[in-house]
Chains A and B, each alone.
Chain A
Amino acid sequence: MVGRILQFVLYPLVALAIGVFFLGLARKITARIQWRYGPPLVQPVIDMIRFFYQKSVSHGPVFAVGLIMSLAGSIVVVLFLPFGSICPLSGSGGLLVVLYVMLLAPMGIALSGGQGANPNISIGISRKLILALGYEVPFLLVLLTVMTHYNTISIVQVVEAQRDIGWSIASLPLFLSGVSYLLILPAMLGFRPFDVSTAPQEISSGPLVEYGGKYLLMATIEHALLLFIDIALFVNLFLGGAGNPITFFVKMLIVFVLVLFIHAAFPRLRIEQAIRYLWKWPTALALAGLIIVTIGRS
């Protein structure tokens, strides 16, 4: 019981730590790729401390409530994802619940941003939602492929099934889905070339325009957790999860660095280009995977 409670308390903190580490790593590696020295790895932490202590303005209650909802949603999603052997809330609805709880984060940001009443926020949210629609099409297809293939909606069972038959990404029908997931991962994480919704140069970082101080802190934490969630989901579904947290972390790290290379090397796409891309190759791959799985099943 104590262990379970500890899991509940510690697991989100671990996830947050990993997420923040990834944020720092992202800045560092990007800098190295750009032939810069880069900030210290703890720079995001320093930033977050500053945000914590800095004053801020609020545009109304929804401005805060939306962010709280968003962050809470992200933390709850973390609780649903197995992390190695740690999995506090696995038995409560499975992947479908994860899918829906994941909606809380963008919805919260969108609500909060809406209250901000800034033209850049409007544009940013509009782009964010459009982009979300863009990557949700292949993403949902991928998830459905996995769920149909293993005939379960529980992530834990997907992980267990992979323990017997090897990684999903190595098996044929799911290979396509895995590739598709990898292709849309930058979009899900808001990395380049899909960072048009928060483009700083163009729309003053979009939904984040009015955030400062603790608001920005929460948005940063939310982003860190998003990194954790999306990558952990990939690792769980396609890379066989892991028996212990360390292996799991290593797998996540590999995937993240892969995404990071794309992030550092590509310019930003316009929103139509992004959608066009997302609905072309990743969707085609995911669809092919789903068709194969469906045929194989029947």
Chain B
Amino acid sequence: MVNPVLLIVVPLGFAFLIPILSLLSKKIAKYIPPIPLCFNIVVSLLLLPRALENPVVVSIGGWQPGFSINLVAGPVGILLSAIVAFVGLLVSIYAVDYIREGATDRYHMLFLLLLTGATGVVLTGDIFNLFVFFEILCISSYALVAYAGDKAGIESAVKYLIQGAVGSSLLLIGIGLLYGLFGTLNMADIAKALQSPTSLPVFVPMALIISGLGVEAAMFPLNGWLPDAHSSAPSPVSAILSGIAIEVGLYAIARVVFTIFGLSIDSTSNFLMFLAVLGILTLLVGEMCALGQNNIKRMLAYSSIGQMGLILFALAMASSYAVAGGLFQLVSHTLAKALLFLTVGYMTYRTHSLDISALAGIGKRMPITSLAFTIGAFSLIGLPPFAGFPSKLLIVRAALATKECLFFVLIGGALLGTVIEAAYFFRVVQVLYFKDGNTNIARKQVPAVALIPIVIFVILIVGIGIYPKFITGLLNSAAAELLNRVDYIRNVLG
């Protein structure tokens, strides 16, 4: 009998095991993170059939739901925790070779903590618990961003920290207000008690929570930290931050908006429309900022902002197609962006520069890595036959299916964003393959241990792109779960 609690407890335990074990041997630390993550994948997959039928609800401490902290492992939760574990696993394998300097044991501990936090956020059914896991995620990511200890990393970490702290304070105020209103912290309970999100007292906590989570989810005006943090962190950390952390933030927003406040497109459309506008704004700003970038990691970071905007837009449409498309986009973005950061990690390591122009000619020196980068970039742009294409297709279709003028305009903006995105990614691809660059760089592949995750990502991107049915079933039920508030309440509260 597998229990969702294991998904959180095991990585947490291993995380704290790392410093202890590293007392024995410095080298052992880097081999530890894959173990709990493998375990998590297995557990998630075992939970999946059950979760698809009915969300697995676990109450901690034996209290009945409503009073205890509970975990809700529905399709969304399992899907995301599986992705977190999977991407985490691949990145940790990559990090075995990549992270060599500094206090490596602490890096691996923080890494596991971050993933624990992310898993906790996606699985929890309690809003304060969500906050706690969120803080675990955030604090470990502050530390990880500063891990390299260089000027840029420290500066970004400080800024990230200040903004994150402000954001989490807002989140906490919002949670406090909700508690004050409803006297409970269980999301299902709050949802049950909250009949309409229309009154100001309900709206204010929602605004506070959305702003608080929005800082982590990289919504448009709240994402000042993101380009700095993602570009100055070590590449595996960037991969995790771009691939997991912000997606988790977005998931939290979706959970709060759909489940707790029960916003839906028909009754309370305007706020969701506002979010949709915000999403497209985020998309456009992100893509536009990325266009002129010379720093490749910063460019990727801005591109993450853009993709987050697109996902937010998809989620804000709140139809099952749209949410499924958004989740699909989330998955494809996670895969592609993690892949991009991982490949870029070794490329920049080889060129000793983050400039795009310094990457000239890398296509000849590191062919497989460059190919992987190209595929990741194509997938992000949404070119067939890669994973980004079906997700974009779903989102556009959903937007057109709304038959609302506003969404037509917005999807036009999204498509414009795609064009800009194509512009900068194709430029990088050109630089990689078709520019003669520094010939001093030896023709050398990345080490095999780092190549494994890259190749797996590529296979997944192409596989999902060619055969999207692979995950669409899961995504559809996840979307259904995310949107269906009544079922959620019934499942949790019995």
Q: Do chains A and B touch in the complex (CB under 8 A)?
A: no
